């Protein structure tokens, strides 16, 4: 069962900020971009778009921009011909990737249980 | 820096499922509901609505229903007068809450760095 992971009663100001930060980073696309940049170290925008299956160009642009603003990602414009932009994680981004690691491992370990739970739920709702 | 947290090249089928599961659970509201149920053990719908600041009734209904379907939450209808419904975590829900613990701790530890990064980013964009 484990102890509560976080104790917001300690400081309401910190609680509000933490909840806001969680709201920003606990996001499917942010996690998948973090994962891609953890594996590949440096990616151009077009390479990132290929790694993050199913994301629209607009959503990927918004996601990396928000991650840059939060200090998770460094965006570098390379003045070559043709010019290109590449992305890499900051130390802060790497530390978030490590924190999310437990969630990936959990998902990997529990895929079958979740599939089974969904089947059971759907059967109960139909039956 | 750390090693990549997950190695999807091992099995593309597992990769797709894990990414889908991450897409479901890496969600702000799911994390906050998990946190509230970790702290309070059992909550009625109305109590949960108070704990999860800023959520609409519709979004809370959708969130707890998806969590019930995924096997994270047990929903119990109490046949008292007036009847009420309460929610608690399953073992699977508790294990996800523990996996997310690292992300909460990360957010708590890095609130100041993120605030600073945002200020720097916004200053660069204006300047």
Three-state secondary structure readout of chain B: CCCCCCCHHHCHHHHHHHHHHHHHHCEHHHHHHHHHHHHHCCEEHHHHHHHCCCCCHHHHHHHHHHHHHCCCEEEEEECCCCCEEEEEECHHHHHHHHHHHHHHHHHHHHHHHHHHHHHHHHHHHHC
Query: How far does CA A15 lie from the centroid of its chain?
Result: 21
Among the partner residues B4, B69, B111, nearest to A18 by beta-carbon distance:
B111
Query: How far does CA A63 lie from the centroid of its chain?
Result: 9
- Structural domain boundaries enclosing A66: 8-126
Angle formed at CA A70 by CA A64 and CA A72, multiple of 5 degrees: 65
Interface residue of A24, A110, A122 to substitute, partner B, most B CBs within 10 Å: A110
Which pTM was predicted? Answer: 0.81
Q: Is residue B3 part of a domain?
A: no
Which chain B residues contact residue A25 at CB under 8 A?
103, 107
Interface residue of A22, A55, A59 to substitute, partner B, most B CBs within 10 Å: A22
Contact yes or no for B39 and A4 at CB 8 A: yes
- The tokens 């953890």 sit on which residue? A38
Q: pLDDT at residue B75 above 70?
A: yes
Q: Is residue B2 part of a domain?
A: no
Chain A residue nearest residue B10, CA to CA: A108
Q: From the CA of B52, how many Å to the nearest CA of chain A? A: 10
Domain count, chain A: 1
Q: Give the pLDDT of residue B61.
A: 96
Q: pLDDT at residue B28 above 50?
A: yes
In CATH, what number is assigned to the domain containing residue A53? 1.10.10.10
Which chain B residues contact residue A43 at CB under 8 A?
none
Contact yes or no for A117 and B70 at CB 8 A: yes
Q: From the CA of B81, how many Å to the nearest CA of chain A? A: 25
**Of the candidates A50, A85, A79, A39, the residue with the CA atom closest to the CA atom of residue A65:** A85
pLDDT cut 70: percent of chain B above it: 91
Average the pLDDT over A39-47 and give the result: 94
Q: Is residue A2 part of a domain?
A: no
Contact yes or no for B94 and A2 at CB 8 A: yes
Task: Quick: pLDDT tens for A62-120.
Answer: 999 999 999 999 999 988 888 889 999 999 999 999 998 888 889 889 989 998 999 99
Q: From the CA of A118, how many Å to the nearest CA of chain B? A: 5
């Amino acid at each position: 069962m484990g102890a509560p992971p976080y104790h917001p009663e300690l400081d309401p100001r910190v609680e509000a900020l933490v909840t806001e930060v969680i709201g920003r980073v606990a996001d499917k696309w942010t996690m998948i971009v973090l994962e891609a940049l953890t594996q590949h170290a440096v990616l151009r925008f077009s390479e990132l778009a290929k790694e993050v299956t199913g994301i629209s160009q607009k959503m990927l642009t918004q996601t990396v921009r928000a991650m840059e603003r939060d200090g998770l990602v460094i965006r570098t414009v390379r003045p070559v011909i043709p010019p290109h932009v590449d992305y890499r994680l900051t130390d802060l981004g790497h530390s978030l990737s490590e924190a999310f690691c437990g969630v990936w491992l959990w998902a990997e370990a529990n895929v079958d249980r979740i599939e089974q739970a969904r089947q059971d739920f759907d059967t109960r709702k139909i039956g």
